[in-house]
Amino acid sequence: MSVTAAEGFVASGMHAGVKRRRYDMAMIATDDGRPVTAVAVFTQNKYFAPPVGVSRKRLADNGGQAAAIIVNSGNANAGTGAKGYADAEAMCDATAKALGIASSDVLVCSTGIIGLPMPMDKILDATPKLAKKLSADGSEDAAKGILTTDHVPKEAVVKGSTFTLGGIAKGCGMIAPNMATMLAFLTTDADVSRDEMQAILRDAANRTFNTLNVDGATSTNDTVFLLANGRRGKPDMAEFADAVHKVCEDLTWQMARDAEGMTKMVTLRVTGAASDAEARIAAKNIAENNLVKCSWYGSDPYWGRLLGAAGSAGVEFDPDLTSVAYGGIVVSKAGTGFDHDEAAVAEYMKNEKIDIEVALGLGTGSAQVIGIDLGPGYIKENSKTS
């Protein structure tokens, strides 16, 4: 169990016919139909999908609460105009009717292809069936129901001393560090106020989901929800914040490992920048550079491409102060090559997970991103999704 591991939550998933064969819908709900505290972090893309707009408004209007979440995959309900908003509202209404709850307490998410009309007949036909399937054992089905091009479902659980926190996520492409980079649904039986939980979720997202950069593309539908029913009382807040971070971190690495065409996962650290903000800009520019990503795919420690990307990021940069290290082995100093054990670096580059540091030598600013290589698998996947 994951998203139903915390006391008081149920879930389900099924094949509704949005996609040809795979599960394509999911529902998460409170077991008694009562609304609980709910917070979210949404995409920063201004071209956001109607489900994002609908869920964002509902949380603002109802003071931050939810009793259920309805999700479909295979169709993003994005680029669909007023009809898309009506369809997102209809999904909430159908869920509310099936569960006997207020529609205002239902949140909605969609993920998949942009610009296509929603197959509402299939979605509305499946919604009451999802409601009937809800159970404390339904987390795995729900995790399958939210996937798009993912190869495997993604689940995580942390059991605290006085609470449980669990979650599911989807995402393996169209991912960039600009919140939220995917869909994720977290639940807990801890008693945490809306403001405290919002701050904790945003901080955790910034330190985990926002460090993952598969392809530099920010989705129209990115959403993370965290629901708390308070059944097990007030937690130690430091322990709770750490648990939220751990679940988000676990899900982030699962997404990285499942990234479209992935053969290398790179933890890229930019240090010594003029500020943390400039370090983040440089790290993002490096991780999204196709030449850099191709060198990772080829297991080539091509430090010149890293510095070229950092130098073109629009941040303060002095090549004479820089250094580059792969797995702690320095390969470049002062903008030129540095004598090192080439055999050791070549052996290190065979690993699936690689650590790289680009030191700018200017100040104390630092940032970290998780980058993915670029190879034929990514191109193959994304040349056929539309």
Say whether pLDDT at 178 is over 50: no
- Residue 174 confidence (pLDDT): 46
Residue 250 sits in the same domain as residue 276: no
Say whether pLDDT at 308 is over 50: yes
Residue 247 sits in the same domain as residue 309: no
**Least confident piece of the model among 152-161, 181-190, 254-263, 340-349:** 254-263
Report residue 372: phi and psi, to 5°.
-125, 145
- Residue 2 maps to a domain: no
- Residue 175 confidence (pLDDT): 46
**Least confident piece of the model among 98-102, 348-352, 372-376:** 372-376
Percentage with pLDDT > 70 across the chain: 92
- Residue 382 confidence (pLDDT): 60
Residue 168 sits in the same domain as residue 304: no
Q: Which CATH number characterizes residue 366's domain?
A: 3.10.20.340
Most confident of 43-52, 218-227, 230-239: 230-239
Prior bond of 180 cis (ω within 30°): yes
Residue 37 sits in the same domain as residue 173: yes
Please tell me the distance from the alpha carbon of residue 350 to that of residue 115, in angstroms, as a whole number.
Answer: 40
**Least confident piece of the model among 112-126, 248-262, 302-316, 342-356:** 248-262
- Residue 53 maps to a domain: yes
Active-site residues, by number, are 181
Q: How many domains does the chain have?
A: 2
Residue 169 sits in the same domain as residue 187: yes
Residue 28 sits in the same domain as residue 159: yes
Show the DSSP H helices in the chain as ranges: 50-61, 81-99, 120-133, 139-145, 194-207, 237-257, 276-287, 290-297, 303-311, 342-348, 376-382
Asked which of 257, 281, 316 is the last residue of a domain, the reply is: 257
Asked which of 228, 257, 286 is the last residue of a domain, the reply is: 257
- What is the DSSP code string of 337-385? E----HHHHHHHTTSSEEEEEEE--SSSEEEEEEEE---HHHHHHHTS-
Q: What is the mean pLDDT of residues 2-16?
A: 98
Domain that holds residue 375: 265-382
Say whether pLDDT at 334 is over 90: yes
Q: How would residue 214 be classed by pLDDT, with cut points 50, 70 and 90?
A: low
Say whether pLDDT at 386 is over 50: no
Please tell me the distance from the alpha carbon of residue 120 to that of residue 233, in angstroms, as a whole number.
Answer: 40
- Residue 3 maps to a domain: no
- Residue 72 maps to a domain: yes
- Residue 98 maps to a domain: yes
For 175-207, the three-class secondary structure string (H helix, E strand, C coil) is CCCCCCCCEEEEEECCCCCHHHHHHHHHHHHHH
Percentage with pLDDT > 90 across the chain: 78
Q: Which CATH number characterizes residue 107's domain?
A: 3.60.70.12
Asked which of 238, 257, 276 is the last residue of a domain, the reply is: 257
Q: How would residue 331 be classed by pLDDT, with cut points 50, 70 and 90?
A: very high
Residue 279 sits in the same domain as residue 202: no
Identity of residue 350: K
Say whether pLDDT at 218 is over 60: no
**What count of Cα atoms within 13 Å lies in the side-chain half-sphere of residue 190?**
28
- Residue 193 maps to a domain: yes
- Residue 381 confidence (pLDDT): 61
Say whether pLDDT at 276 is over 70: yes
Query: In the predicted model, what is the mean pLDDT of the chain?
Result: 91
Residue 133 sits in the same domain as residue 185: yes
- Residue 110 maps to a domain: yes
Residue 249 sits in the same domain as residue 100: yes
Q: What is the mean pLDDT of residues 254-280?
A: 88
The string of pLDDT tens digits covering residues 17-30 is 999 989 999 999 99
**Least confident piece of the model among 172-176, 267-271, 314-318:** 172-176
Say whether pLDDT at 181 is over 60: no
Q: How would residue 93 be classed by pLDDT, with cut points 50, 70 and 90?
A: very high
- Residue 324 maps to a domain: yes
Say whether pLDDT at 274 is over 70: yes
Q: Are 341 and 329 in contact (CB under 8 A)?
A: yes
- Residue 384 confidence (pLDDT): 58
Residue 60 sits in the same domain as residue 80: yes
Q: What is the mean pLDDT of residues 82-98?
A: 98
Residue 300 sits in the same domain as residue 187: no
Q: What is the pTM of this model?
A: 0.83
Residue 220 sits in the same domain as residue 188: yes
